[in-house]
């Protein structure tokens, strides 16, 4: 694949912009082999094997990714929307190439796999793989998501039992059950869900006569939010981690 096509596919701008970056010497390519230093390439039409390629654009290293899968630690006070109404968008936390990756659909770049409320923090996945988004979001696949819930009133065994056996939400006569539920402490509930209804955690907790004061998603599938990834930070998912969230 030509180098300008590789950069274009990774979201670095139009083909003309990508060719300009290369011709001006802003692009370096890592040769095969561990520890090799990147080399400047000024030929936009230079051919490279895209799979496994690593390159540097304006001082920042990038791996070639046919599809992007990233993990974001969502901070409070952000919206999971391209067009936020009140708070800053989570997409402003990502570098522009992730936001500009070309897609056949009208919307460019990676998209959030599901949404978290503006005041909810924690683990959020983003990708430009539509099939992955559908698989992770579909209730048929029962992907577990773990939430750390701070509640207003002291927890008791009755509340935990009701969340496990099922509560009725106002817009759905069918009871909604937690896949797992544990009172970690008097005001800390750990709740595991396998579906994603609107404001589901808050409404389930309200249905047992309590109130959510703070909400944090700590795990998706078998993958926990890394302790070294601070609020507002992101990183690529490894192949092993991708398998853990989608298993």
pLDDT bin (cut points 50, 70, 90) of residue 33 is confident
117 a catalytic residue: yes
Q: For the residues 61-83, what does the mean pLDDT come to?
A: 96
Task: Give the number of other Cβ atoms within 10 Å of residue 74's Cβ.
Answer: 26
- For residue 34, what pLDDT band results from cuts at 50, 70 and 90? confident
Give the range among 22-26, 28-32, 69-73, 137-141 with minimum mean pLDDT: 137-141
Does the domain at 69-139+223-246 match CATH 3.30.70.580? Answer given as yes
Q: In terms of CATH, what superfamily is 3-63?
A: RNA-binding S4 domain (3.10.290.10)
Domain ranges of the chain: 3-63, 69-139+223-246, 144-220
Question: Per the confidence metrics, is the pTM higher than 0.75?
Answer: yes
Q: Tell me the per-residue pLDDT of 223-243, one tens digit each, with 9 for 90 and over.
A: 999 999 999 999 999 999 999
Domain 3-63 and domain 69-139+223-246 have a common topology: no
Phi and psi (nearest 5°) for 140? -70, -25
Catalytic one among 117, 128, 171, 172? 117
Select from 3.90.180.10, 3.30.70.1560, 3.40.50.720, 3.20.20.140 the CATH code of 144-220: 3.30.70.1560
Closest CA to 193 of 136, 142, 247: 142
């Amino acid at each position: 694949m030509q180098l300008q096509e590789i950069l274009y596919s990774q979201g670095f701008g139009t083909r003309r912009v990508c060719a300009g970056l290369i011709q001006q010497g802003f692009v370096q390519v890592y040769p095969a082999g561990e520890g090799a230093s990147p080399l400047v390439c000024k030929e936009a039409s230079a051919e490279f094997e895209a799979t496994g390629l690593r390159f540097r654009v304006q001082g920042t290293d990038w791996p070639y990714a046919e599809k992007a899968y990233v993990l974001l630690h969502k901070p409070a006070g952000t919206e999971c929307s391209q067009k936020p109404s009140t708070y800053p968008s989570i997409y402003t936390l990502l570098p522009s190439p992730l936001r500009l990756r070309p897609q056949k659909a009208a919307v460019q770049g990676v998209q959030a796999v599901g949404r978290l409320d503006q005041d909810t923090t924690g683990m959020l996945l983003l990708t430009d793989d539509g099939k992955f988004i559908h698989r992770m979001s579909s209730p048929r696949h029962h992907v577990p998501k773990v939430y750390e819930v701070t509640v207003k009133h002291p927890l008791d065994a009755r509340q935990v039992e009701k969340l496990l056996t099922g509560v009725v939400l106002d817009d759905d006569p069918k009871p909604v059950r937690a896949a797992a539920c544990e009172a970690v402490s008097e005001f800390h509930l750990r709740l595991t869900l396998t579906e994603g209804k609107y404001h589901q955690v808050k409404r389930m907790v309200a249905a047992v006569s309590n109130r959510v004061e703070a909400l944090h998603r700590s795990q998706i599938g078998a993958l926990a939010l890394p302790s070294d990834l601070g609020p507002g930070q992101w990183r690529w998912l490894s192949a092993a981690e991708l398998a853990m969230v989608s298993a």
